[in-house]
Amino acid sequence: MTSTFSTDADERKPAAGNCADVSGAPLPHWSAVFSAWMDGASPALVSGLEPEDSDAADERVSIDELTRRVMVRRLSATSSHQVVPDEWDIEQLDAALADIETRQRGGPAEIEETLQRARTLDIDALHRTMRSCAANFDIGDFILLYALPLMRRMGDLWAAGDISVSAEHLVSTSLAAALQPAAAHPPPSTQPRLKMLVATPYGELHELGAIAACRLAQSHGFEALYIGAQLPVYEMARLAKVNGIRIIVLGGSMDAKDMAMQHLRQLAQVVDSGSIIFTGGSAYEEMDDQRRVSVRHCRTMRHFCCQIETLAAIIRSVRENVAPAALD
Ligand code: B12
């Protein structure tokens, strides 16, 4: 099965150009990347996207609009007959993509089989099912069509008292293990890659979304490192600073908005200027434009994928088009 999510940069097929040139900190091209990220870029940067009006060759659009077009392109590529209404927002695009990808590539049958194994508490059988899913789906589909819907379904069953806590723990820990190896130890790459730090903040034990985001970022060519759950934001900022990391991803599944937003504001204040912070999970909201740092809320995991695809395209273009002398 092939997904639209890891075509050009799946870790099993090293990317042709989805990697940034980062030979050390500070990142040599980063300020040009960050300016484009803040001020918008040409759709032509992203493969398969063209300016809407062919006369507007130097059209620049915001990153929000670029990301939306990436999602629309995915939808059009998946379903050649579907006309995508202009007014569809990210959630509607995500739902349409989830629907059509599930119909084309599966997921529900594998989820039911996994739940069946979990109910009988048969550890070996559960692990066999998960291994087979990991082998048959590529990493994007494994996460988006299998792992995340499985956890949500598991949550509903658990809340309704239809599945035991041991079954839930068995599935959660097995999934975390299935997703984690590459996250804990990024594979050696022939090209230096752009580093990304992924964690959940203090008080947040739900880590599967963050781990999944980490794996997806790796499949887009980033050297994403999952550093664990419950990391205080000051520690995140320190780790990022020492290692010259400018991209931080914060995940979480709890609805504790005040706490999550307070952590986020603190992080935005203490990270290096020019950093990009992605957030995912229902507790986070959009934050006012900071200029010093970019805070990007990911409404869904696909939205995160499409934002990092856009970022990877900007990095590639800066690398190819900006003369070294023009860079800081
Ligand atoms: C597994 C689980 C646990 C495990 C977590 C194990 C682990 N290693 O992660 C354990 C047992 C530790 C746990 C503990 C608790 N849990 Co719990 N848990 C769940 C469960 C069943 C699944 C969570 C999960 O991984 N879902 C899969 C994720 C990926 O889905 P999601 O959260 O919807 O996330 C989506 C988006 O938000 C986004 N996203 C999430 N993170 C990220 C990150 C990035 C970067 C991006 C881009 C996107 C993104 O992508 C996802 C897909 O679209 C949910 C039920 C559910 N419906 O989700 C409850 C749930 C999240 N837990 C809940 C609660 C209450 C708790 C506890 C307080 C229980 C208790 N009394 O102790 C503790 C809190 C611990 C803590 N301090 O954090 C509630 C939260 C309610 C609320 N409104 O806040 C839920 C919803 C269950 C419920 N229906 O009541 N839990």
Q: For ligand 1, atom 83, name the residue with the nearest CA.
A: 255
128 or 23, which is more confident: 128
Instruction: Say how far apart CA 15 and CA 9 lie, in whole Å.
Output: 4
CA of 326 to the centre of ligand 1 (A): 45
For residue 24, what pLDDT band results from cuts at 50, 70 and 90? very low
Of all atoms in ligand 1, which is nearest to the CA of residue 278? 45
For 64-104, the pLDDT digits (tens) are 999 998 998 888 888 766 678 888 899 999 999 999 999 99
> What mean pLDDT is predicted for residues 248-277?
93
Q: Which residues contact 39 (CB under 8 A, 6 or more apart)?
A: 60
CA of 208 to the centre of ligand 1 (A): 8
**Mean pLDDT for the chain overall:** 83
Q: How far is CA 246 from CA 4, 126, 163, 302, in A?
A: 27, 38, 41, 21
The answer, yes or no, to whether residue 254 has pLDDT greater than 70, is yes
Pocket of ligand 1 (CB under 6 A): 148, 151-152, 154-155, 158-159, 168, 172, 176, 203-210, 213, 249, 251-255, 278, 280-282, 298, 300-301, 304
For residue 18, what pLDDT band results from cuts at 50, 70 and 90? very low
CATH code of the domain occupying 183-321: 3.40.50.280
For 143-193, the pLDDT digits (tens) are 999 999 999 999 999 999 999 999 999 999 999 999 875 545 555 555 557
CA of 91 to the centre of ligand 1 (A): 19
Which stretches of 164-300 are DSSP H helices? 165-179, 181-184, 208-219, 233-243, 257-270
Q: Which residues contact 129 (CB under 8 A, 6 or more apart)?
A: 110, 113, 114, 117
Q: How far is CA 55 from CA 36, 52, 59, 164, in A?
A: 21, 9, 9, 61
> What mean pLDDT is predicted for residues 207-235?
93
End-to-end Cα spacing for the chain: 43
Q: Which of 14-23, 41-50, 267-276 has the lowest mean pLDDT?
A: 14-23
For residue 26, what pLDDT band results from cuts at 50, 70 and 90? very low
Instruction: Say how far apart CA 114 and CA 289 lie, in whole Å.
Output: 43
The answer, yes or no, to whether residue 107 has pLDDT greater than 90, is yes
Q: For ligand 1, atom 1, name the residue with the nearest CA.
A: 172
Q: How far is CA 283 from CA 215, 269, 287, 297, in A?
A: 22, 19, 12, 10
Substitution site in 111, 115, 165, 253 for ligand 1 pocket (most atoms within 8 Å of beta carbon): 253
**Stated pTM of the model:** 0.88
